[in-house]
């Protein structure tokens, strides 16, 4: 998947009438086949709005989202339906996302039905195979999901997504509602499924510890923008954006070494995404802000091998 210059705004009511909320802007990254790509940021930074664009649930105002040579942002509804076979979404809420009146097997078979795949017996076989792959008891095929734990429900959601044999699975806070033990088991499951099926994953999460554990490359979002995109090790131990440094400095770590040698605490609140001022959106909180930051929006630029950050300090911080 290749994302370039993606932006999306929503209309809202402000104090003085109609206003625009800039939910997503200047979003850029590439996800390579077989990657575990992470999109991380605090709640409200536009991650879920971005998820809706990546999956074609909404269309961007600007920019392109290429997936296997098709621009998801401009695909016709018919093409989108066909494309969805190849990328699937697993959401956060293990309770809200399952129809309580449908038996487990029928829930997993449904995407096959929607896409007109297989006859009844074949669909049943594929659903049962998916159940056993995610560690659900195949004997519960005809049971309702009501008795399932949160972890089992997320396994069911994963089975429902992978029954179509997609190439890309987008996980939006998929593990957030689970306890640590269950999260660990799910991460092992994802790893196994990836080894068997060659899936590509995008993990959308607010949880730095989680993305540190599973993602090979990571994009950091702040106020709707991708402010840094870098390989895991580089992002955590040599971040290029002052916001990433602040995030890491506040993050708990189970590792022997700290992510950053010095404290870098964030002051203030992010500005409102309504009618954003010009320049860098982080300028009001950034300890390094200088004149240029207030007038010119920094774009993602190459820092070093495979690492990008959107900060004027990268080209020396001089006025241009």
Q: Which residues bind ligand SF4 (CB under 6 A)?
A: 241-242, 280, 282-283, 286, 288-289, 293, 298, 311-313
The least distance separating ligand SF4 from the CB of residue 251, rounded to whole angstroms, comes to 18
Contact partner, 166, from ligand SF4, Mg ion, none, Cβ < 5-8 Å per class: none
Other beta carbons within 10 angstroms of residue 38's beta carbon come to: 27
Binding residue count for Mg ion, defined by CB under 5 A: 2
Contact partner, 48, from ligand SF4, Mg ion, none, Cβ < 5-8 Å per class: Mg ion
The least distance separating ligand SF4 from the CB of residue 302, rounded to whole angstroms, comes to 15
Provide φ and ψ at 276, rounded to 5°.
Answer: -65, 145
Closest CB to ligand SF4 among 126 and 312? 312
Asked if residue 176 binds Mg ion (CB under 5 A), the reply is no
Closest Cα to residue 83, out of 106, 65, 60, 62? 65
Distance CA 124, CA 185 (A): 26
- Is 156 within 8 Å of 148 (Cβ atoms)? yes
Closest CB to Mg ion among 47 and 217? 47
What residues from 36 to 55 belong to the interface with Mg ion (CB under 5 A)? 47-48
**H helices present in the chain, as ranges:** 47-54, 77-84, 104-114, 120-134, 150-162, 180-197, 208-214, 232-237, 242-250, 291-295
Closest CB to Mg ion among 145 and 154? 154
Helices 150-162 and 104-114: crossing angle, nearest 10°?
30
Provide φ and ψ at 168, rounded to 5°.
Answer: -125, 130
The least distance separating Mg ion from the CB of residue 176, rounded to whole angstroms, comes to 9
Closest CB to Mg ion among 47 and 123? 47
* Coil, strand or helix at 182: helix
Closest CB to Mg ion among 52 and 79? 52
The least distance separating Mg ion from the CB of residue 158, rounded to whole angstroms, comes to 19
The least distance separating ligand SF4 from the CB of residue 239, rounded to whole angstroms, comes to 11
């Amino acid at each position: 998947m290749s994302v370039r210059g993606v932006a999306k705004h929503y209309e809202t009511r402000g104090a003085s009438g109609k206003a625009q909320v800039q939910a997503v802007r200047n979003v850029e990254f590439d996800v390579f086949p077989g990657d575990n790509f992470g999109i991380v940021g605090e709640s409200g930074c536009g991650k879920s709005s971005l998820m809706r664009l990546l999956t074609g649930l909404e269309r961007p105002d600007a920019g392109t989202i290429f997936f296997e040579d098709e621009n998801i942002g401009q695909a016709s509804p018919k093409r989108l339906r066909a494309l969805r076979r190849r990328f699937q979404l697993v959401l956060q809420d293990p309770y809200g996302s399952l129809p309580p009146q449908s038996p487990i097997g029928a829930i997993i078979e449904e995407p096959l039905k929607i896409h007109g795949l297989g006859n009844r017996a074949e669909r049943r076989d594929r659903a049962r195979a998916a159940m056993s792959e995610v560690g659900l008891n195949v004997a519960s095929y005809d049971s309702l999901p009501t008795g399932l734990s949160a972890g089992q429900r997320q396994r069911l959601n994963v089975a429902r997504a992978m029954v179509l044999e997609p190439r890309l699975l987008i996980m939006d806070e998929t593990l957030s509602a689970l306890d640590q033990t269950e999260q660990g088991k799910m991460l092992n499951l994802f790893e196994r499924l990836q080894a068997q099926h060659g899936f590509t994953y995008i993990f959308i999460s607010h949880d730095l510890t989680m993305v540190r554990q599973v993602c090979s490359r990571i994009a950091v979002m702040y106020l709707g923008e991708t402010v840094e995109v870098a390989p895991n090790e580089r992002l955590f131990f040599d971040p290029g954006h002052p916001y990433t440094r602040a995030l890491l400095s506040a993050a708990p770590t189970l590792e022997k070494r700290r992510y950053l040698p010095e404290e870098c605490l964030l002051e203030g609140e992010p500005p409102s995404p309504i009618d954003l001022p010009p320049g860098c959106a982080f300028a009001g909180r950034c300890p390094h802000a200088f004149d240029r930051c207030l007038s010119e929006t920094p774009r993602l630029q190459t820092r070093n091998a495979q690492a990008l950050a959107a900060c004027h300090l990268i080209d020396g911080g001089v006025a241009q």
